[in-house]
């Protein structure tokens, strides 16, 4: 995993903005948002991989599609916040693959149970990272970024819960 841009690197690239966020808090807020955006993009790709390769019913394909849509919508919200803070989102496919903190998703064909387990693991890791991002923003005393991250954590945990209900092995 390649490290994301540091706070000092981000501070050098900040664009002028009318944001009321104190300049010394903008770079760490942007760093936190970018880390989560990158991890969300990586998990979105994992879900799409399962959606495309799963032999499950059309219901499952729609189910995965709604998770992809929700993650993409929240990534848009977070990227808008980064731009409002004067930041830049380094989210090319190569950057996402290199910088994601999520465990590498298996690229080889798998059976349905292995796909289910892998996607549950990815979403679980993402939920933990969303909570960590939320804590970081809260420590900055930056309520608007904290609000957006709270909203994002709720969406991620909602889909994790749905995945657990519908994808966990039957007892």
On whether residue 13 sits in a domain, the answer given is: no
On whether residue 98 sits in a domain, the answer given is: yes
The string of pLDDT tens digits covering residues 51-93 is 888 776 665 778 888 999 999 999 999 999 999 999 999 999 9
Residue 10's pLDDT band (cuts 50, 70, 90): low
* Contact by Cβ (8 Å): 86, 17: yes
On whether residue 5 sits in a domain, the answer given is: no
Interval 122-145 mean pLDDT: 95
Our count of domains for the chain comes to: 1
* Contact by Cβ (8 Å): 50, 84: no
CATH number at residue 34: 1.20.1260.10
Structural domain containing residue 117:
20-167
Does this model's pTM top 0.75? yes
On whether residue 120 sits in a domain, the answer given is: yes
On whether residue 6 sits in a domain, the answer given is: no
Distance CA 14, CA 83 (A): 9
Which pLDDT score is estimated for 112? 82
On whether residue 85 sits in a domain, the answer given is: yes
Which pLDDT score is estimated for 107? 86
Lowest mean pLDDT among 7-11, 74-78, 111-115: 7-11
On whether residue 9 sits in a domain, the answer given is: no
Residue 11's pLDDT band (cuts 50, 70, 90): low
Mean per-residue pLDDT of the chain: 88
Mapped onto helix, strand or coil, the DSSP state of residue 4 is coil
On whether residue 122 sits in a domain, the answer given is: yes
Which pLDDT score is estimated for 164? 87
∠ Cα 20 151 54 (to 5°): 135
Residue 127's pLDDT band (cuts 50, 70, 90): very high
Instruction: State the helix-helix crossing angle for 58-84 and 143-167, rounded to 10 degrees.
Output: 170
DSSP codes, the chain? -PPPPPHHHHHHHPPP----S-HHHHHHHHHHHHHHHHHHHHHHHHHHHHHHH--S-HHHHHHHHHHHHHHHHHHHHHHHHHHHTT------HHHHHHH--SPPPP-S---HHHHHHHHHHHHHHHHHHHHHHHHHHHHTT-HHHHHHHHHHHHHHHHHHHHHHHHHSPP-
């Amino acid at each position: 995993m390649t490290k994301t841009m540091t706070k000092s690197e981000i501070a050098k690239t900040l664009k002028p903005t009318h944001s009321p966020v104190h300049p010394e808090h903008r770079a760490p807020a942007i760093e936190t948002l970018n880390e989560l955006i990158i991890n969300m993009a990586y998990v979105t790709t994992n879900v799409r991989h399962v959606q495309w390769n799963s032999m499950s019913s059309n219901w499952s394909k729609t189910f995965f599609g709604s998770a992809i849509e929700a993650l993409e919508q929240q990534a848009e919200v977070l990227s808008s916040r980064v731009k409002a803070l004067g930041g830049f989102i380094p989210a090319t496919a190569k950057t996402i693959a290199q910088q994601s903190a999520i465990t590498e998703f298996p690229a080889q064909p798998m059976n349905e149970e292995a796909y289910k387990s892998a996607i549950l693991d990815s979403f679980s890791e993402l939920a933990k990272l969303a909570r960590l991002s939320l804590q970081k923003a809260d420590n900055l005393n930056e309520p608007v970024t904290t609000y957006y991250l709270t909203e994002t954590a709720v969406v991620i945990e909602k889909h994790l819960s749905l995945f657990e209900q519908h994808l966990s092995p039957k007892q």
